[in-house]
Amino acid sequence: MKNLGIIPARGGSKRIPRKNIKEFQGKPVIAYSIEAALNSNLFSEVMVSTEDKDIAEISIMYGAKVPFFRSEKNADDFAGSGDVVFEVLRQYEKIGQVFDNCCCIYATAPLISKNRLTEGYKLLIESNFDVVFPVGRYSSPIWRSYKMNEVGRVEMNFPEHEKIRSQDLPISYYDAGQFYWFRINDFLALENKNTFGVSKGAILLPDYEVQDIDNLDDWHLAEVKFSYSNNIEK
């Protein structure tokens, strides 16, 4: 099968300026996603979708391809990953390149690894799932979570679970925000191009492999986990 790796990386990051190419442990953070994809040997092509020339140059330097630039429409704050992927797939069709499966890999995922990409791909191929992605486990039951108003008053989100012991509540998981594997024909058939699929499968990551990066505190936590993860592997 022919697999395509797409790394969306637009230039306009508001919370962390130039986030996709900010240096992380000695190299641009996008380099980790590119290298994991290339080293997995799963892809016929690994490309970066961007409208930014600096991001394109750095991506090419680390081995990715930038065969065309992203449209202005899909480079604003409102374009979803699915919109970007759909545009990329149609662009490849125009130049006569067709793929069977695709993996949307996020540019700011320095904890990503080739082994997890392979694990996700294997689950997609061996299952009937439309989409496969990695998840992390919530450390506390979300069923005992609270909401807070502007003056600090709290109320339970699920008051019906207030008297149930934590250990008796179901375990909950969250999207690790690293990648999505999916079958291209199934994706193109969807009306909503930001769902990737209806039937979802997941691989579970340990806490030290998961860190969402939305601000500088998140960034520093990711660096700590990166160092910890490398020490474990050694």
Q: Could you state, in order of their start, the residue ranges of all structural domains in the chain? A: 3-135+175-209
pLDDT digits 0-9 by tens, 131-182 = 999 999 999 999 999 999 999 999 999 999 999 998 999 999 999 999 999 9
Return the pLDDT at 134: 98
* Ranges 32-41, 113-122, 186-195, 209-218: which has the least confidence: 186-195
CATH top-level class for 3-135+175-209? alpha beta
The confidence score (pLDDT) of residue 13 equals 79
Whether pLDDT at 14 is above 90: no
Cα–Cα distance, 102 to 189 (Å, whole number): 14
pLDDT score at 234: 52
Q: What is the pLDDT of residue 149?
A: 94
User: How confident is the model at residue 85, as a pLDDT?
Assistant: 95
Q: Which of 231, 13, 10, 229 is nearest to 110 (CA)?
A: 229
pLDDT in tens, 58-90: 999 999 999 999 998 888 877 888 999 999 999
- Is the pLDDT score of 95 beyond 80? yes
In which residue are the tokens 């969306």 written?
8
Q: Spell out the residues 6+ positions from residue 23 whose beta carbon is closer than 8 angstroms to its own.
A: 29
Residue the block writes with tokens 């990166």: 226
Dihedral of alpha carbons 212, 217, 221, 227, sign = positive
Q: Are the CB atoms for 71 and 49 separated by under 8 Å? A: no
